[in-house]
Amino acid sequence: LPLLQPVLCEASYVLLEYVKTAMFMWMFIEGLFLHNMVTVTVFQETSYYRMYRFIGWGCPVLMTSAWAIVMAFYYHPKSKFPRCWSGYNLSSYFWILEGPRFAVILLNFLFLLNIIRVLVIKLRQSHTSEIEQVLKAVRAAVVLLPLLGITNMLFMIEAPLDNVSKFAVWSYSTHFLRSFQGLFIAMLYCFLNGE
């Protein structure tokens, strides 16, 4: 059993990173779908489901496999369990996963800006006051932030390990946002939705 422990440890890290990467890919699909629904009038949703499934489940398999292979051959931490990847998220190899995740967040942010632009144009065409138009656009943006994963940008900021109080604020805020992201989305889109 002691020989199996490092392998199980590494396998759990691979599974964890696969699930996190799949979460980011599905957030990208949500952003792409919403962007196309708002900005492109000719969008056939049924023809893209196969591509969505590949992006959502297949791309994370490819990216996580590439990362796991690189980690297995090149990452050798000095720890109590030498084969377990302690501190793997601080290595430069982690950018094999973190780079595409960061790109997904940036793309979703660009989708969000374009959606807001379209909403503002449509609101200007209606006969409401300018303050109401701005409030509607801001409310739409705030509602879309957790759905598109923009709040995960805090995780991409390097943890301030030199200051305990800054690290505490960073740690609590990032873990709170990630842990309750699903609840925020459910509250905004299901429980508080008048439609």
What ranges do the domains of the chain cover? 4-131
Percent of the chain with pLDDT over 90: 16
Judged against a pLDDT cut of 60, whether residue 79 lies above it is answered with: no
Q: What is the pLDDT of residues 8-41, one digit of tens each?
A: 888 899 999 999 899 889 888 888 887 887 777 5
Q: What is the pTM of this model?
A: 0.72
The contacts of residue 148 (CB under 8 Å, 6+ apart) are: 27, 30, 31, 34, 108, 109, 111, 112
2 near 74, Cβ under 8 Å? Answer: no
Domain 4-131 has CATH 1.20.1070.10: yes
Among 104, 98, 26, CA closest to 66: 98
d(CA 19, CA 13): 10
Radius of gyration of the chain measured on its C-alpha atoms: 20
Q: What does the buried/exposed string (b/e) look like for 155-183 if buried means 16 or more CB atoms within 10 Å of the residue's CB? A: beeeeeeeeeeeeeebeeebeebbeebee
